Chains A and B, each alone.
Chain A
Amino acid sequence: QVQVVESGGGVVQPGRSLRLSCAASGFTFSKCAMHWVRQAPGKELEWVAVIWYDGSNEYYVDSVKGRFTISRDNSRNTLYLQMNSLTVDDTAMYYCASQNSGSIQFDYWGQGTLVTVSS
């Protein structure tokens, strides 16, 4: 049974940092690219970042480049998102999603962790 569980969200002041985690099980984590996708309250989905199955490549949406860092620990089946210099525009539900094939798609999603950036 596939399980994807995010954690680490919360309320943070603008300019501060937060680290999200995503624990996966039920599939071969080390063979899957992993993504972060976010959704601001009442808004559409927005792709944030991807990391290759082996961590060899990572890519970001322009709005978070230089501020966010995606990483993974395949020994722990865990994905991370380090978020620095947060702004109010980063307020969103952050979903971890797996890409379980060579195609670019989001197969399994976690329940999300809410990040609220507010003074």
Chain B
Amino acid sequence: QSVLTQPRSVSGSPGQSVTISCTGTRSDIGTYNYVSWYQQIPGKVPRLIIHDVNKRPSGVPDRFSGSKSLNTASLTISGLQAEDEADYYCCSYAGRYSVLFGGGTKLTVL
């Protein structure tokens, strides 16, 4: 069982916005701003899309944004496109050098 809890699936139509939540505890997301998000298209390698809660690496569209409130991080994808269909994983540092991933969320673009 993953320590960071994500919804198993979300969906949206092209052009809409979706938000994926990632719930941890006071010991991980609640304490550290080392929250990152990864996009994994089936059969492909994970790709970093958000780091440090809300920062985008170069080349990642500004349709992707991140935030955090207390023990929950969120990834919002606005202006959904068919190419956004993928699995999304959150990740957080949890102290004493431990890194946790979420269980992953499958995004379906209707």
Contact = CB atoms under 8 A, between A and B. Distances in A.
Interface of A: 35, 37, 44-47, 50, 57, 59, 61, 95, 101, 103-107, 109-112
Interface residues of B, number: 24
Given A44-B2, A45-B38, A106 B46 contact: yes
B103 interface: yes
Contacts of B34: 103-105
Nearest to A101: B51
A44 B36 CA distance: 15
Describe B's contact surface by its main secondary structure. strand
Given A103-B51, A106-B36, A45 B46 contact: yes
Contact of B97 (A37, A46, A59, A111): A59
A103 B33 CA distance: 9
A67 to B, nearest CB: 17
